[in-house]
Amino acid sequence: MSNRANLLFIGLPGSGKTTFVAALWHVLSDRSSATALKLTKLSGDRTYLNQITKEWRECSQVPRTNLQTEQVVVLHLDGEGVGAVDLSIPDLAGEAFKQQLTDRRMSRHHDTLVQNATGVMLFLHPDVQKGTQLAVAQQLEAMLPGSQTAQATSANTVPNTWSPDMLPHQVRLVELLQFLLERAQRKLRIAVVVSAWDLVESLGMSPHGFINREIPLLQQFLAANDDLLDHNVFGVSAQGGDITDEAEKQTLLELDDALKRIKVRHDQETSQDITKPIAWLLGGG
């Protein structure tokens, strides 16, 4: 008998959810590498998985998920410390999470997914830190009476009224987690996945170190709520590199085995096992 488990992948648009699912399906269906979780059988409609994994293999951009293209992926897995499990993972649109922030409402469908979630994977792309927050702060400063730059500030550089678009990235992530905790019925395991890890690995930090330094509000929120959640942080390069850079894309395509593109960093350990964060969410590791 298999247990049933439901994971919830959350993250803003472009945070790497679909790319992760595509690489995961490649690894599971390829079966040639040692992974914490293995596929036990194939069943259900695999059209979506095969389509995104084909794009992934070809180093093409996986299509952005929108509210119409959201799919639920079901995987039959087995692993040490986890046992046989029928795992369901909806590939949701980041757009839906963005709407939760602007409308402060969650659809009934999302609410059901939250209530049934065994574990949550929170995706964040390391590049989104590059925002305009400093520019906004400078504009606000210029508006203060007595500011040296106040005279030079023309009407069109004065910021408009506040809008949710101005929310810093880490505030958005904490908001998304607050929505979850409010609706979840039990203590949740949350795996934070810093996607596109290849872009930041040269900084020499561990994934924990990275969010500590770059996204401290999120780190503090996770630590302060340890009565409601258990968390862990992984750095995952699911694609292996920047496919918008032609030379880098060629290097990735020339690898004799696409599995070698994947890198998963956890604390000081680096592996190619993309099932690790899922195994941890399911109680293994």
Ligand X SMILES: Nc1nc2c(ncn2[C@@H]2O[C@H](COP(=O)(O)OP(=O)(O)OP(=O)(O)O)[C@@H](O)[C@H]2O)c(=O)[nH]1
Minimum gap (Å) between residue 117 Cβ and Mg ion? 18
| Residue 223 burial class via C-beta count within 10 angstroms: exposed 0-12, middle 13-18, buried 19 and up | exposed
273 contributes a contact to ligand X by CB under 6 A: no
Hey, which residues between 245 and 264 contact ligand X (CB under 6 A)? none
121 contributes a contact to ligand X by CB under 6 A: no
219 contributes a contact to ligand X by CB under 6 A: no
DSSP of 166-187: GS-HHHHHHHHHHHHHHH-SS-
Minimum gap (Å) between residue 165 Cβ and ligand X? 16
Edge-first strand listing for the sheet containing 188-194: 37-41, 71-79, 83-91, 3-10, 119-124, 188-194, 229-237, 263-266, 269-271
94 contributes a contact to ligand X by CB under 6 A: yes
Minimum gap (Å) between residue 71 Cβ and Mg ion? 10
Instruction: Give just the sign of the alpha carbon dihedral 174, 89, 210, 231.
Output: positive
Q: Which of 24, 93, 106, 259 binds ligand X (CB under 6 A)?
A: 93
18 contributes a contact to ligand X by CB under 6 A: yes
Torsion, CA 193, CA 195, CA 200, CA 202, rounded to 10: 90
> Residue 275 touches which of ligand X, Mg ion, none (CB < 5 to 8 A by kind)?
none
> Residue 235 touches which of Mg ion, ligand X, none (CB < 5 to 8 A by kind)?
none
Minimum gap (Å) between residue 199 Cβ and Mg ion? 18
Minimum gap (Å) between residue 125 Cβ and ligand X? 6
φ, ψ (nearest 5 deg) of residue 40: -95, -35
Rounded Cα–Cα distance for residues 117 and 68 (Å): 22
Residues contributing to the site for Mg ion (CB under 5 A): 17-18, 65
189 contributes a contact to ligand X by CB under 6 A: no
Residue 68, SS3? coil
Give the Cβ contact number of residue 54 at 10 Å: 13
Minimum gap (Å) between residue 21 Cβ and ligand X? 8
Question: Structure tokens of 285?
Answer: 């590791």
Q: What is the binding site for ligand X (CB under 6 A)? A: 11, 13-19, 61-62, 64-65, 93-94, 123, 125, 195-196, 198-199, 237-243
